[in-house]
């Protein structure tokens, strides 16, 4: 499973990219708003920092507006994936932008049927929002499992499942087990994947024993 990072914070992106742990980046209008700079500048900078796909979302809600904004966003860099919402106009825009050769990420997906439409429309990525479904008392990960089955049943579908709205290390593990192709992960959650108290405890005791020997390796 690939790792994307779900942020528009360029310093976080650079830091995690330098660690060799990033395959791509996702942003959304809320994350770009938080960055407090023009979207074109933010996306351009991220695209220069990372080779993989960088999702940038349209804010128009009608077909023509999405196409115009999608073209503008795709023109920022070759690795931009245009994000469109899981609405009727969004699926139409997905089809049109994909046919123009752009990568398209269909976002705000909450059902397997929306994912089915996205695949029919030639989406590069489908983004089911696991955490927001869990927030409603539903099982977000079940939607990932359903989409995996549907996509595996039709070999003509090339759309990659991008598990989104990831809130915890448990979500990351479950998404990998459910067959997601990618998880887009907030920076803090990504760093937490490395943590285990027994690792810290074991390391402390190894180092305490080692210091008693007076040896050095170098």
Closest contact distance (angstroms) between CB of 139 and ligand E4P is: 16
**Residue 49 or 83 with smaller CB distance to ligand E4P:** 83
User: Could you tell me how many residues of this chain bind ligand E4P (CB under 6 A)?
Assistant: 11
Interface positions, 152-181, toward ligand E4P (CB under 6 A): 164-165
Quick check: 52 binds ligand E4P (CB under 6 A)? no
Is 107 among the residues that bind ligand E4P (CB under 6 A)?
A: yes
Measured from the CB atom, is 131 or 187 closer to ligand E4P?
131
x-marked contacts with ligand E4P along 112-131 as a string, rule CB under 6 A: ---------------x-x-x
Residue 47 vs 211, nearer CB to ligand E4P: 47
DSSP class per residue in 34-91: HHTS-HHHHHHHHHHH-SS-EEEE----SHHHHHHHHHHHHTT-TTEEEEEESSHHHH
d(CA 14, CA 217): 32
Residue with smaller CB distance to ligand E4P, 7 or 151: 7
If residue 17 lies in a helix (H) or strand (E), which one and from where to where?
helix 10-18
Q: Is 83 a catalytic residue?
A: yes
List alpha helices for 88-218, DSSP H. Answer: 88-99, 112-120, 130-135, 140-153, 169-178, 187-192, 197-213
Question: Out of 44, 83, 158, 173, which one is annotated catalytic?
Answer: 83
State which residue, 34 or 196, has the beta carbon closest to ligand E4P. Answer: 34
8 Å CB contact between 57 and 66: no
For residue 53, what are the CA distances in angstroms to 125, 202, 203?
Answer: 10, 38, 37
The reply to whether 2 sits near ligand E4P by the rule CB under 6 A is no
Cβ proximity of 2 and 23 under 8 Å: yes
126 phi/psi in degrees, rounded to 5: -120, 135
Q: Least distance from C-beta 28 to ligand E4P, angstroms?
A: 4
**Position among 44, 132, 145, 148 found at the interface with ligand E4P (CB under 6 A):** 132
Residues labelled catalytic? 83
Q: Which residues here bind ligand E4P, judged by CB under 6 A?
A: 6, 26, 28, 107, 127, 129, 131-132, 164-165, 184
């Amino acid at each position: 499973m690939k790792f994307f990072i779900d942020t528009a914070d360029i310093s976080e992106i650079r830091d995690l990219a330098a660690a060799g742990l990033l395959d791509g980046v996702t942003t959304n209008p809320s994350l770009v708003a938080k960055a407090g700079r023009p979207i074109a500048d933010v996306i351009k900078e991220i695209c220069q920092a990372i080779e993989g796909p960088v999702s940038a979302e349209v804010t128009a809600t009608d077909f023509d507006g999405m196409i115009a904004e999608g073209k503008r966003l795709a023109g920022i860099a070759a690795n931009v994936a245009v994000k469109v919402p899981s609405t009727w106009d969004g699926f139409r825009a997905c089809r049109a932008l994909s046919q123009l050769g752009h990568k398209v990420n269909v976002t705000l997906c909450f059902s397997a049927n929306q994912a089915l439409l996205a695949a029919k429309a030639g989406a590069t990525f489908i983004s089911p929002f696991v955490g927001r479904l869990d927030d409603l008392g539903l099982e977000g990960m079940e939607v990932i499992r359903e989409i995996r089955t549907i996509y595996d049943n039709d070999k003509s579908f090339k759309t990659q499942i991008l598990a989104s709205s990831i809130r915890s290390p448990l979500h990351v593990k479950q998404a990998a087990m459910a067959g997601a192709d990618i998880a887009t992960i907030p920076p803090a959650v990504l760093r937490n994947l490395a943590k285990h108290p027994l690792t810290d405890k074991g390391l402390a005791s190894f180092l305490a024993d080692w210091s008693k020997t007076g040896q050095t390796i170098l």
